[in-house]
Amino acid sequence: MNDLFVRTRSAKDLVISTLLLVGGCVMVALPTPSAVNITGFFLCFAGIILFFILKTGWKHVETSEKYRCCTLYFAKENISILKEALEKNPEAIVLDKEGMANTVRLDIFYNKELNKTFSQLSEYVSYEYQPCSKVYIHEYKRIAKAIK
């Protein structure tokens, strides 16, 4: 799925970095003690750094539609159950928080406004997750239970 989606800046990222930058500049510009000026410089610096590195949104490469990502982890014993659930009935994905291992990862890219989701299973092999299923496309309503 890495070839379908790329990271991009979301509106939340821009707001956070802008607020830090503006807040720091205001603290420096006002006649305040030097400790407040140092804090203001730190906030300005943090806002600039976050502007360049913070990317929490996802964009579909072909359509340029914006998506959010939800990642769930499961034990390896559940891989056949998850594949079957994704193919036939995505509402049946069981989110049992107890006893979860990190050997199977389910990535769900979703957009509520478009009512569309993309999901894919990946298995942990040799220090990285490698895809072990095809990309499934569903309506958001069918898989919303797993996202929440």
Least confident of 33-47, 54-68, 97-111, 121-135: 97-111
pTM, two decimals, is 0.80
3-state secondary structure of 69: strand
CB atoms within 10 A of CB 3: 7
At CA 51, angle to CA 30 and CA 37, rounded to 5?
20
pLDDT digit string (tens) for 100-145?
A: 677 889 999 999 999 999 999 999 988 899 999 999 999 998 888 8
pLDDT averaged over every residue in the chain: 89
Question: Half-sphere exposure of residue 60, counting CA atoms within 13 Å on the CB side?
Answer: 15
